[in-house]
Structure 1
Amino acid sequence: MHGRSGLLLGLPGILLLLALVAFPLGYALALSFTRYTFIRPSLAWAGLDRYREVLQDPYFLNALGVTGVYVLLTVGLGLLLAVLLHQAYPLRGFHYFAVSLPMLIAPVGVGLIWKMILHPELGILAYLFGGRDLLGNVQTALLTLALVDVWQQVSFAALVLLAALRSLPQEPLEAARVDGATP
């Protein structure tokens, strides 16, 4: 009886999850194999043609590369911060707070703060870089946006990776130290 009552209690949540996530995802996947567009809604079979087109599109490949840079920066810096915070040192509590702070600010607030910092006439970074408009320059705009986004997102990655480091069993590490392993 307990198994059935648990299933009945969980059923509304499962149905809601299926309705809001699984169905739209499956429907979008099914449409990706057709020639359906909003202008010409046709369910004519296209097979893998659309996927071939996307993989040959230079804009898609550029977006994929930019996304890869964002992910590598975020995860790489997050892992570095997590490893540093995993060590025992006197100011670790303060550094937990400092790393968590960007994550606590709403993305809209982060955008407004960085908009003022990067403002071409009033911003501190424009002043430090000799009046350069970092967001208005083709060479610096992507890197500037990437650093702003990574600044906020790296704290989440660091805390998740730190939790993973903390959950590792200590016995293999202690055994390695006994065997003479160094950090």
Structure 2
Amino acid sequence: MWLSPAIVILSAFSVIVLGYSIYLSLQNINLVKQAHAFVGLSNFADLLHDGRAWSSVGKTLKFSVIATFVELILGLAIALYFNREFRGRRIVRTLMLIPMIMTPVVSGLIWRIFYDPNAGIINYFLSVIGLGNKYDWLGNVDLAMFAVILSDVWQWTPFVFLILASSLDALPGEPLEAAKVDGATRLQTFWHVVLPLMKPSLLIAFLLRMMDSIKTFDIIYVMTRGGPSLSTETTNMYAYIQGFNNFNISYATVINISITIAITFIFTFIYKKMTSTRANG
């Protein structure tokens, strides 16, 4: 009863936005030509033959998969490291959350300064240790995507750490004590006891970060705007270009509801299958 007002409001907004998006996708709306006509599924047919759109899908998956798995591994490693008592533990854990608190635009601007080929701190440190300098991180086709991924990992690894650290704190003590009595090493205890108990939290962290990374736009827009040579042009970036550079609102809507939502549903389905299999097993 207490949740029903919020559920009704959120559901209404979701239905309205989705319904209007479907309406736009069936139209041919161009803000420059002031064209407005019902075209049915022709926008979807155009998408099937749009090589640039499908190329953006590959870049979206590359960005999301690499960033999410690196964040999971680093988040788990940091959570395990902080799962012990030491002096200043609370202060350090609090400082760990600072990147997550920043807005993606601010984070993108900071990393854009770091990556500056002439005055950036990354090239400076590389030159200090003898690995050369003058790397054009955001202007190189081979480096730009990984540079953007690194900035996303820096910002959102604390989010994964927060979930997994809470899971570690809530682990029951009996299985850990039993493993210790049986003479299991730390690695064996982690692999056979801790990791299986943390699977639900790992799956939740994976799903939340994967769905969020698929929708990433602002940090890419600030750092590269899809360049160089479309090397960081994800689906959301391509939809933005179609909608606000080419003023083709209908086609931009089709890109979002056909690709972004489809990818999100696929990973949600995988998560549901994994959780149902675990429950049945």
For the aligned pair, the TM-score class normalised by the smaller chain equals 0.7 to 0.9
Q: Does 1:134 align with 2:137?
A: yes
User: Partners in 1 of 2:20 and 2:161 — Cα distance?
Assistant: 33
Counterpart for residue 26 of structure 2: 36
Q: Does 1:125 align with 2:122?
A: yes
Alignment of 1:22-171 (within 5 A): 24=17, 27=19, 31=22, 36=26, 38-39=28-29, 41-43=38-40, 57-129=54-126, 130-171=133-174
Gaps spanning 5+ residues in structure 1: where? 1-6
Shift of 1:72: 0.7
Counterpart for residue 10 of structure 1: 3
2:71 alignment partner AA: T
2:26 alignment partner AA: Y
Count residues in correspondence.
170
Q: Does 1:180 align with 2:183?
A: yes
The alpha-carbon distance between structure 1 residues 38 and 153, as it changes in their structure 2 partners (threshold 3 A), is farther
Shift of 1:117: 1.6
Summarize deviations over 1:7-53 as a string: whole Å, max 9, x none: 2x43321211211235645x489x5xxx8354464556xxxx89988
2:4 alignment partner AA: L
User: Partners in 2 of 1:179 and 1:116 — Cα distance?
Assistant: 53
User: Partners in 2 of 1:36 and 1:101 — Cα distance?
Assistant: 43
Shift of 1:69: 0.8
Summarize deviations over 1:36-94 as a string: whole Å, max 9, x none: 354464556xxxx899889x934323422321111111112111111111133445334
Larger radius of gyration: 1
User: Partners in 2 of 1:88 and 1:62 — Cα distance?
Assistant: 41
User: Partners in 2 of 1:155 and 1:122 — Cα distance?
Assistant: 28
Gaps spanning 5+ residues in structure 2: where? 30-36, 127-132, 187-281
Contact 1:126 1:134 in 2 (8 A): no
SS at match of 1:57: helix
CA RMSD of aligned residues (A): 3.3
User: Partners in 2 of 1:69 and 1:43 — Cα distance?
Assistant: 37
2:115 alignment partner AA: L
Q: Identity, % of aligned pairs? A: 31
Give TM-score, length-normalised by structure 2.
0.51
Give TM-score, length-normalised by structure 1.
0.74
User: Partners in 2 of 1:79 and 1:38 — Cα distance?
Assistant: 47
Contact 2:117 2:134 in 1 (8 A): yes
Q: Comparing both chains, which one has the higher relative contact order based on Cα–Cα distances under 8 Å and sequence gaps of 6 or more?
A: 2
1:148 alignment partner AA: S
User: Partners in 1 of 2:109 and 2:38 — Cα distance?
Assistant: 40
Contact 2:27 2:40 in 1 (8 A): no
User: Partners in 1 of 2:47 and 2:112 — Cα distance?
Assistant: 37
